Structures are given as structure tokens and as C-alpha cells.
């Protein structure tokens, strides 16, 4: 060995020693017995206190919002090794593997978080323990959602993403920078199955509806002479039908309060029959005198639930001789359902499940629980776009008893776009409670009696993630695994000029001949 190599070796060893010392030296030795007890729970962000959490959820990393120079956190339960974290910053990042082991070993048990903080004088404060509960039931492993900036008229980057809830991996399903920056959303899965997915891409050469069925992807055009392209979708459990709403949405703005508002000038529901590539409908779900939207099949496929309001013209009145005014804030939707026989394609009785006149609120976004007993709904003071309504809340309707209640999970900001997990024990919803600007995904436990757990925000690796993340989590949907198609594959199919044009079936043609297609209602809102 050459002489100077020795010197280099010595220098490297010294550097390593210094680095090791840097980790060893900080702070006084921690002695939990000497800590002074503070008789309250510590303030942590996100709020992961008093919650019921899935046994397969990723670590609930958080930031301690208490003064301190060093922090010690102990997470433990009845069985297994406790997780201990020493941190010189208030950001607590829980090791993934230790966390998973702890949760797996303690299903149905309480999990406790003890937090200690070292003050300026070198003493330690101990806060009252945080107690959470680990549920027995798993949550679906993935969450699919759209990420978009809080847009008004314009948008830039949009993407449909999926997040592995068991860790922090997020991957795109499709992003619009691969599809000429067009708009994309309205994604839906058949019974939480990632192999059966539909999503709509609006505008540009890549525009159309992407249909992933049993892992095979097709690009279809659901627009016909009768209808525009389908928007809000719902898969029929027979895997051969998708109900779409056809909407004519327009945005308008308020001078005070929440600025944005949306008006649906007309809407219908159509059914796309996959195997025959046909579009059909029925006057029951496409009544010219009413606006139907937000279709949702019952899990057994025997009923189609949807929301319906009188046509827009009914809300227009004359202010004086020359001016028309639209009472947009009187528009309220009822919850309806219609029986359906998929085998014979026969529509049954139409019935009002819950009337807006009964609730005094507009009823939107019905989602039926996997056991068919409950419906989660969104209600707001008026209209059909709850994401912009600060008073929109998630409600639960017992379909057997026809009793509804406002859930405790709600906040004083927009809570909407809920979706069930495949086992019906969890649901996710989008809430703007954190800052009023961006909708985030919140999870809540749902027990057999219709009781819910305190909602908690989707955990992120960086505890400060939500402080600066300027995107909305739109239409969160729980799925049992990842969507396997890559964004590149989907983008190529979307960008392909070949598109399967859906054909109107005889029913639709008959309606067309009768001239039942809606014309735009004239409004004074614009």
C-alpha cells in the first residue's frame, strides 16, 4: 500500500467517526420516568387520534405540533414489538416493516401512541397517550383518484393515479401529458375490481371513453345522435352494462363565499351495452321533463339508483317584463330507483326513494353498500356539484327502513364523492376540511349497524405533505389491487384514431324519432 493511501484511509475513518458521533451525541439521554406529564393529548398533524384504522394501512406518519427540541415516540399494542422513534425534528416517520408487524399482530386491539418532547431546558414532557383501534377487516389495498389543481376554467396537468394504501407507492394510471393535455375523470370500477374500469377523456384526438374489461382495453365513443358522450358511470354487476349520465354542465361564479358553482342545464341516463356496443335508455331514466344524473347500480344489479330533478325551465321565472331569472338555488334532486331485469333488458317500476322535499336538500351521488342495505349519499342545499358546496355532507340511508341520517364524519366544508370498500367495512370520501381549497381522501370505518369511525386522511410518507400539496383528490375509488395497464399502454389506445362508435339501439332510435332529446334551457345565469 502506498503511503498516501494510509492518510486517505485515516481521513475516511475520521469522517465516519464524526458522522456517527453526530447521530449519537444529540440531546440528553431520555428517561421516560423523569418526564413531566402534560394532562392532554398532544397536537399532531394530520389528526390521527381516536380513529379506527385498517390493519393493512401504511404508517400514519405525523408531525408533532408541540414545542420541543427532541422527540421520542413509542407506538405499541398488546402483542409484538413496540415501535420507538427518536427524532430531532417534530416530523415522525414510522418504519414501514415494524408498523406492519405491529398492526398485523394486533387486529381488533387498541394501539397506543406515546409522545415525549424535550423542552429548551433539557427536561422532557410526556403527553397523554393517543389511543386508536385496529379493525379486524382489511381495507382494499389501492385507491384510485384523479389529481388536479383547484381549477376554474382552465387546467394544466391532470392524471388518474393509484395509491397503494399498504405503503406509500403512488403510480399513474393515466396522465394527460400523454394524451394531449385533455381533461380526464369519471373513472369507475366494477365492484372494486381493477381489471374492469372505465374512464372518460374529454377533448382532443385522445378524447373518448376508455374501457378496461377483464384487463383488455377499448376506446369507445358513447356519443350518438341522441346523446352526448357519457360522463358519470356505474358498472352493472353482469359486467356487460355501464350506466352513464349525460350532462350539460356550465360553470358560474359567486361574488361572495365560495366562488365556483355549477349548473346542469339538462341531463339523462343512458346504458352502454358492452357486448353489443349499443346505447339504450328508457323514458324512466331519460324523461324530457326531468334531469337525471349520478346513476348507481345496486350490487345485485336489480335496481338502478339515480338522482333526478325537474327540468331547468321549471326554475326560471320572470323578474319583470323583460328579464328572466333562474332560481338556481331551488334546484334540488330526489333519489330515485328503477327496477331492471338485465336478462330481458326490461325496466320496472320507477320509485322515489328519498325526496328532496323531505330532506330539504338536494340528494346526490348515491353509492349502495356491497350488502345492498345502505346507501351513502351526499346532500347539499341545492344543485348537483357538491364539491363546490361548503355545506355538502355525506349521509347514510338505510334502504330497508328508508331512514336517513347525517353522518358524524362531516365537517363544515365540502364532504362528498364517497365510495365503499369491497367488504363494505370501509369507505372513502373527498373532503376539503383541511384547508377549504383542496379535496383530500379520508377513510372511515363502517360497522354492521351503520356506525362510522372518525375519519382520517390518507397517510403520506412526508408528514408535511398536505401543507404544500396543491392538488385535489377527485373521485376516490377503493380497488382490490392495482390497475395493471401502464399509462403508456392506455395512452397509446387513447391516442389511437380507431374508436369504437357506440350504436343507438331501437329504443333510443324511437325516442329520437319522437324528438325527445333535450334542448338547452335558456338561462339568465350566463
Partner 1 sequence: MHNSIAKKFIVCLFEYEFVFLCPIIKVHTQGKVLQRIKKYVRNNILNPRTVKFAVVGLSGVLVNMGLLYILTEYAHLFYMVSSVIAIEVSILTNFFMNDLWTWKDRVKQSWIKRIIKYHSVSFGALIANWIALVILTEWFGVYYMISNLIGICLGMVINFVLNDIWTFRDSGAKDSLNKVYKKHGDVMKSLESGKIKNRMIFKISGEIVFFLVFFFYLWQWVNPELFYNQQKPVFLTGYNFLYSFLLYPGGIVEYISLLLSQYYYYSWLGAAIITITIWILTVSTKETIKQLFGTQQVYYVHFIPAFFLIIMFSDYHFPLSNVIGLLVSILTFNIYIKLKTQNTYKRSGICLLQFFLLYYISCGSALLFAALCVLYELLKNKKILLSLIYLIIAILLPYISSYYFLVTIENSYLYLTPLCENYAPLIVSYSLYLFYIIIILISSMIKLPVKKTSSDTNVTTKNHWYDYMLQIKLHRIMEPVIVIILIILTAYLSFDFKAKLPLYMDNLAWHGRWKDILKVSTNHGFDDILVTFLTNRALYHEGRLSSEMFAYPQKWGAYGLILPRQLAAELPIQRSELFLELGHINEAEHGAYEALSLKENFPRTLQQLALIYILKNEKEAAEKCLNILKRTVLFKKWAEKYWLYIENKQLILTDPVLGKIYTRMPKTDFIVSSKSPSFDLMELLKQNPDNKTAFEYLMAFFLLERQLDSFISHLEYANLMGYHTMPRHYQEAFLIYRLSGGKLTPKLAQIQISVKTIDRFKEFQKIMKTYGGQFRSAAYKLHSTHGDTYWYYLMSKKAVSR
Per CB under 8 A, residues contacting partner 1 are 3-4, 149-157, 172, 175, 177-178, 252-257, 259-260, 434-438, 462, 465, 467-468, 470, 486-488, 491, 525-526
For 97, the grid coordinates are 416493516
Residue indicated by cell numbers 405499541: 76
Contact 189, 235 (CB under 8 A): yes
Least distance to partner 1, CB of residue 178, Å = 6
Least distance to partner 1, CB of residue 481, Å = 21
Instruction: Between 31 and 153, name the residue whose CB sits nearer to partner 1.
Output: 153
Alpha helices in 48-121 (DSSP H): 96-105
Instruction: Between 355 and 381, name the residue whose CB sits nearer to partner 1.
Output: 381
Instruction: Between 242 and 389, name the residue whose CB sits nearer to partner 1.
Output: 389
Q: Among positive and negative, which fits the CA dihedral 100, 102, 103, 105?
A: positive
Taking the C-alpha atoms of residue 191 and residue 213, their distance in angstroms, rounded to an integer, is 13
Least distance to partner 1, CB of residue 385, Å = 15
Q: Is 261 helix (H, G, I), strand (E, B) or coil?
A: strand
Instruction: Between 264 and 287, name the residue whose CB sits nearer to partner 1.
Output: 264
Taking the C-alpha atoms of residue 349 and residue 459, their distance in angstroms, rounded to an integer, is 44
Least distance to partner 1, CB of residue 19, Å = 15
Taking the C-alpha atoms of residue 146 and residue 159, their distance in angstroms, rounded to an integer, is 6
Least distance to partner 1, CB of residue 236, Å = 33
Contact 45, 63 (CB under 8 A): yes
Residue indicated by cell numbers 405503503: 167
Least distance to partner 1, CB of residue 2, Å = 8
Least distance to partner 1, CB of residue 341, Å = 44
Least distance to partner 1, CB of residue 231, Å = 21
Main-chain dihedrals φ then ψ at residue 351, nearest 5 degrees: -140, 150
Instruction: Between 193 and 325, name the residue whose CB sits nearer to partner 1.
Output: 325
Instruction: Between 497 and 513, name the residue whose CB sits nearer to partner 1.
Output: 497
Contact 112, 51 (CB under 8 A): no
For 441, the grid coordinates are 381522501
Instruction: Between 277 and 381, name the residue whose CB sits nearer to partner 1.
Output: 381
Contact 418, 427 (CB under 8 A): yes
For 60, the grid coordinates are 400514519
Contact 363, 335 (CB under 8 A): yes
Instruction: Between 288 and 436, name the residue whose CB sits nearer to partner 1.
Output: 436
Main-chain dihedrals φ then ψ at residue 272, nearest 5 degrees: -95, 120
Amino acid at each position: 500500500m502506498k503511503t498516501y493511501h494510509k492518510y486517505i484511509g485515516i481521513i475516511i475513518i475520521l469522517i465516519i467517526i464524526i458522522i456517527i458521533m453526530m447521530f449519537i451525541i444529540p440531546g440528553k439521554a431520555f428517561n421516560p420516568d423523569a418526564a413531566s406529564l402534560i394532562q392532554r393529548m398532544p397536537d399532531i398533524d394530520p389528526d390521527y387520534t381516536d380513529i379506527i384504522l385498517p390493519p393493512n394501512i401504511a404508517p400514519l406518519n405525523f408531525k408533532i405540533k408541540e414545542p420541543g427540541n427532541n422527540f421520542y415516540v413509542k407506538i405499541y399494542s398488546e402483542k409484538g414489538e413496540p415501535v420507538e422513534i427518536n427524532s430531532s425534528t417534530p416530523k415522525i416517520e414510522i418504519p414501514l416493516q415494524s408498523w406492519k408487524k405491529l398492526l398485523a399482530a394486533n387486529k381488533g386491539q387498541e394501539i397506543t401512541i406515546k409522545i415525549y418532547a424535550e423542552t429548551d431546558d433539557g427536561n422532557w414532557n410526556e403527553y397523554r397517550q393517543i389511543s386508536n383501534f385496529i379493525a379486524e377487516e382489511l381495507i382494499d389495498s389501492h385507491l384510485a383518484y384523479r389529481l388536479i389543481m383547484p381549477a376554474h376554467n382552465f387546467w394544466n396537468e391532470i392524471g388518474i393515479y393509484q395509491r397503494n394504501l399498504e405503503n406509500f407507492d403512488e403510480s399513474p394510471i393515466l396522465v394527460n401529458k400523454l394524451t394531449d393535455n385533455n381533461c380526464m375523470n369519471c373513472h369507475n370500477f366494477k365492484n372494486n375490481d381493477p381489471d374492469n374500469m372505465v374512464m372518460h377523456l374529454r377533448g382532443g384526438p385522445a378524447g373518448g371513453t376508455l374501457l378496461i374489461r377483464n384487463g383488455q382495453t377499448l376506446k369507445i365513443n358513447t356519443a350518438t345522435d341522441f346523446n352526448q358522450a357519457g360522463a358519470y358511470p356505474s358498472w352493472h354487476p353482469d359486467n356487460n352494462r355501464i350506466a352513464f349520465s349525460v350532462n350539460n354542465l356550465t360553470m358560474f361564479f359567486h361574488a361572495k363565499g365560495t366562488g365556483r358553482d355549477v349548473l346542469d342545464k339538462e341531463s339523462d341516463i343512458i346504458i352502454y351495452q358492452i357486448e353489443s356496443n349499443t346505447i339504450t335508455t328508457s323514458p324512466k331514466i331519460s324523461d324530457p321533463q326531468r334531469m337525471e344524473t349520478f346513476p348507481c347500480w345496486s350490487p345485485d344489479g336489480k335496481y338502478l339508483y339515480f338522482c333526478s330533478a325537474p327540468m331547468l325551465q321549471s326554475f326560471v321565472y320572470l323578474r319583470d317584463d323583460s328579464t328572466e331569472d333562474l332560481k338556481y338555488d331551488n334546484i334540488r334532486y330526489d333519489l330515485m330507483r328503477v327496477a331492471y331485469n338485465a336478462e330481458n333488458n326490461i325496466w320496472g317500476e320507477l320509485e322515489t326513494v328519498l325526496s328532496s322535499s323531505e330532506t330539504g336538500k338536494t340528494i346526490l351521488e348515491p353509492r349502495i353498500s356491497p350488502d345492498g342495505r345502505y346507501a351513502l349519499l351526499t346532500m347539499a342545499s341545492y344543485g348537483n356539484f357538491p364539491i363546490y358546496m361548503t355545506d355538502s355532507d355525506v349521509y347514510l340511508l338505510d334502504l330497508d327502513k328508508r331512514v336517513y341520517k347525517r353522518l358524524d364524519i362531516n365537517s363544515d366544508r365540502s364532504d362528498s364523492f364517497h365510495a365503499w370498500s369491497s367488504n363494505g367495512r370501509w369507505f372513502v370520501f373527498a373532503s376539503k376540511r383541511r384547508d377549504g381549497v383542496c379535496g383530500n381522501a379520508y377513510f372511515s370505518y363502517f360497522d354492521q349497524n351503520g356506525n362510522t369511525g372518525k375519519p382520517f386522511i390518507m397517510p403520506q410518507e412526508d408528514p408535511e405533505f398536505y401543507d404544500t400539496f396543491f392538488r385535489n383528490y377527485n373521485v376516490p375509488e377503493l380497488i382490490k389491487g392495482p390497475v395493471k395497464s401502464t399509462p403508456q399502454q392506455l395512452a397509446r389506445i387513447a391516442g389511437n384514431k380507431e374508436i369504437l362508435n357506440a350504436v343507438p339501439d331501437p329504443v333510443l332510435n324511437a325516442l329520437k324519432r319522437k324528438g325527445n332529446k333535450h334542448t338547452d334551457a335558456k338561462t339568465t345565469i350566463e
